[in-house]
Structures are given as C-alpha cells and as structure tokens.
Structure 1
C-alpha cells in the first residue's frame, strides 16, 4: 500500500524531528497549564478521545494515563511516529491508548458519533487551506451530540532577534508560496484569526477562545526548551525553504547561525502565543434535558502534567 502524500514541511522520518516533537509536546502541555485546562471541558470517565496528527503521541499517552477508563486514539500520517507511539504505549502499559496511520485531510476510518472529544494541536504547519472545513465537518460527524472539538494553533513567536524574525518571515512566505497558508499576504501563518470562525461555520456551538503566552526570554524557565525547539526546527525546515525558492542554502545557513547567536544574548526577549478554540456539537432536544454523565474535569489534573 502506498504511503499517503505528506505536506509537512519537515521530513517526518528525520530522527531529529521526532526528538523535537517529543520535547515540544511536553513543552506545550506544561505551558498551556495541563492536558485539558480550558474551563468547561469535561471528559466522561469512560469517554473516547481522538487526537489528530498526534505525532509521537505525547498528549494522547498522558491523557490515557490520567484517564485509565477512557479510550484514547491518536492518528498521524507518518508510519514511523505511529510505530514510536505504539511502542511507548506498550512500554508504559497503557492498554487504553491506540495509534493508527491516517491522513487527517481525508475521511477518517471511524463510525459516526464515535468520540466525546477530538483534539488537535499545531495542525496549520501541514494543513491545506481548503482542508480545514472538511476536517471540521469530519469532526462533527465523528463526535457524539454534546461532544467537543478542541484545536490549538499558533503564529510565529515575537522576538527581539532580527535574524530570527527574518527567518520566520521566510517560513511564512514559503508556506504561502506552497499553498499551505491562510495568511492574506504571506507574513504570518494566518490560522489564529480565522480558526474561531471556521469552528462556528462547521456548526459547533458555545465556541470559546483561550490564549496562552509562553515567555522564553533569556533568563526565564522556558528559554532553553523553546530555544532548543526552534534551534532544531529552523535547521530542519531549511530544505523546504530552498525547495520553494525563498532563499538559498548558503543564505539560510548564515541567517541560522546569526539567529542562534542572537537568541542566546543576555538581552534577548521573546513571546510565544497560542490560541485554543473549542466548541460543542449541538445536542438533540431530548438529550439536552438529560442528566450529565459522571465526568472528570481537565482542570482537576495537575497543571504541570505533561
């Protein structure tokens, strides 16, 4: 069987990218305040959860650990990361965590009304603009009435490094040129201002927003983890930038070295903004009056889990 085409701008089979995604996953969960920190998000004790483009499976594995009676399924286009996630679930004895190879820009092989919660984090790096409404329609199909879709996206961090800012602008331009951007002019990813409307247009109700800001200025606790994330990311994305023609390999190497130096200066300042948008699939009228099932709230979890 042929592997599905991957629009991810970094080679997902690269061992360095696998390590980066594992570290980034923990960084995101901790920086956002836990696994399900949003007010009002409640997962039934025996609920079913789908994690979209789960990567190495960090969030799904942690959720499966904290909700041992729930079933957590992660899907990703990369067979290598799915095999890694399966190995992690086996080594940790998490029989309630499962992982499958699937492309989230295509219909997913699950029955209607299969899940109580569908989660997705940082999908914009590979999602084609026209795929967003289709994915949200698929989420609507897969969720039970009253089920929740929860999506977290970002734009490039704001920093005081001229070289990093230039590099980030080249990434945004490259995604725009490759047809993988929602930005009006190619200066940003463009997903965060559009995401709430996409969720509402898909028919979800009570759509809410929660912003997270991670400061990774020099001297802060988050500086080294985020710096390491971007140190690897800016290196691994260079072949994509060369391929689409926004810069030469030599130009990128010089810019990369300058950015690395500037991000380690004593006066370096930086903020990483994330936006979580969540909404509920409408309840049928008779279900809206029913008593809610016994549930656990994500806010009850240790805020430093992950």
Structure 2
C-alpha cells in the first residue's frame, strides 16, 4: 500500500490537536444522531468492530461502553494518542476495547474476516487519493461476509465569514498541491462526490448515503463547540499552508484575527456538512440474523 509516511496535515501529537480531536469526537457523534444512527446498521451480540485512525478513541470508547458484549479495536498512526486512548479505557474500566499503533495506509495486522463493522471518520485529512482503493480493499479483506464498512467525510464548511472562507479556500488549494485531494480545481476537498463510487468499486453492495448537517450559526447550540474546533484547527494548520505556499504566515495570522471576530458577530451563520457512506460485503447474513442483533 502507500508509503509509511505520516501525511496528516496537522501534527497528530500536538497537545492542542489532541484536545481538539477529543472535543470533535463528541460533537460529531452527538450531531450525527449517535454512534451508529444509519438505518440497517446493526451489530451481532459478540461482534467485532474496527475504528480506523481512531485518534484519542472517543468513538471507540463510547461504542464499547454502550455495547459491553462486543469487542472494539481502534488503530492510529500516533503512539501518543493511542497511549491516551488506552489510558482512557483503563480509567473507565472498559475491557472490551483495545488500541494499537498502525498506519491505515499500510496492510493492517489482522486476519481475513476479522470484523463485523469497520468505521472511519474524516480520513481525508491524511489519505492520498491513490490510497483509498487500497484501504477499501483492505476493509473488504478484514470484514466478515455481510460485514459493513462505514465512512464519514466532509467538504469545506460554509459560512458568512469572508476571512474563514478564504482560509478554507487556502486549505483546499494546499491539499490539492500536496496531492491529497480529489478536487479537479482545488476549490474543495473532493472526497464526498467520489466516495460512493470508491466503495462500490471495492466490491461492496447495498451502498447507501446519509447526509448530516451541523448548524453552528451564532445563537445555536453547536456554535461555541464548532467555533472552538475551527479556531484551534486554523492555528495548527498554519505550518502546512505556509509549507504548501498558498499564503504567508503574516497573512494567515491576519485572517485568523479577522475570522475570530467575524465568527462571533450576531449575524454569523455557518453549516458543517457531512456525508456518511456505508456498504456491505456480500455474503450470508443468516448467521448474524439468528444470533440476536443490537442496534446502536
């Protein structure tokens, strides 16, 4: 598969990024309607779940807590965040969740047919376009017949802040220059239009889509959480944008100050659009149907 190189656009072991990912995990799960809100996604009582690029483990930990009879495994390239996730599992007394240091752009050290469900959220932040078919082929290998792959991705947020939109445009262009975008013109991340096709081409059937929208306009419940997530992200993204040559450090600092002010104005409006795509590995589902399934 792809080279063993960390292509994440923000240093995953930065303390600020760790805090941001912890908060973002909770926000996404709540705003999307739960851990597995999609129709038809169920887990066998003794099922096994793999969480790709799990970060500090928020989703995996919550799934393990809600489903004590299943086993959840999270993998991430960062040893620091895996150590944190393991510490969280110990502190909560969760013995059915385990975390391992692995690069999802390389073959994963699990036998064929190991999992009932494989989950991944916002992988665009490090995935190379050429690595997507390879990752999905690996998911196909790792899933049991009838198992489900579930992926959630996004495009740049839509807001009324000119400074923030300028920053998002720089981010899209930087990903394009870095070879980490499907966009033909660098105006978007480009992952959401192609994701359903990629899942189908990997051999999955019954591919479905579900859109989620987080409104974070001024006065809404999500405003402060997404504002905080965005501002931390903007600050941590500066080195990547400067490295890609889309803007100078001085310009980005000026935009950061403007965006901070504009996103706290009374008439500020913002939407965070997410797309979840899931598909099933063809196979006999009768065994799963007779063991007593549990819906999240």
TM-score, L = length of structure 1: 0.94
Show the 5 A alignment for 1:146-225. 146-225=146-225
Aligned to 1:17: 17
Aligned to 2:230: 230
Across the two proteins, how many residue pairs are aligned to each other? 293
Aligned to 2:105: 105
Mapped to 2, the partners of 1:259 and 1:122 lie a distance apart of 23
RMSD: 1.1
Residues 77-103 of structure 1 show CA distances to partners (whole Å, capped at 9, x for unaligned) of 001000000000011010101000000
1:90 aligns with 2:90: yes
Structure 1 moving runs of 4+ over 4 Å: 288-291
Q: Secondary structure at the match of 1:65?
A: helix
Show the 5 A alignment for 1:49-88. 49-88=49-88
Residues 55-109 of structure 1 show CA distances to partners (whole Å, capped at 9, x for unaligned) of 0000000000001010000000001000000000011010101000000011000
Q: Larger relative contact order (C-alpha < 8 A, sep ≥ 6)?
A: 1
Structure 1 residue 156 displacement after superposition: 1.1
Structure 1 residue 289 displacement after superposition: 5.3
Mapped to 2, the partners of 1:122 and 1:233 lie a distance apart of 14
Tell whether the 8 Å contact from 2:35 to 2:59 is kept in structure 1 after alignment: yes
Residues 198-229 of structure 1 show CA distances to partners (whole Å, capped at 9, x for unaligned) of 00000100000000001000000000000000
Question: CA separation of 1:138/1:279 partners in 2, compared to 1, >3 Å: closer, same or farther?
Answer: same
Aligned to 1:263: 263
Structure 1 residue 288 displacement after superposition: 4.8
Residues 40-63 of structure 1 show CA distances to partners (whole Å, capped at 9, x for unaligned) of 000011100000000000000000
Question: CA separation of 1:280/1:252 partners in 2, compared to 1, >3 Å: closer, same or farther?
Answer: same
1:294 aligns with 2:288: no
Question: CA separation of 1:152/1:291 partners in 2, compared to 1, >3 Å: closer, same or farther?
Answer: closer
Residues 241-275 of structure 1 show CA distances to partners (whole Å, capped at 9, x for unaligned) of 01111111001000111011100000000110000
TM-score, L = length of structure 2: 0.97
Mapped to 1, the partners of 2:68 and 2:26 lie a distance apart of 20
Show the 5 A alignment for 1:39-58. 39-58=39-58
Tell whether the 8 Å contact from 2:145 to 2:285 is kept in structure 1 after alignment: no
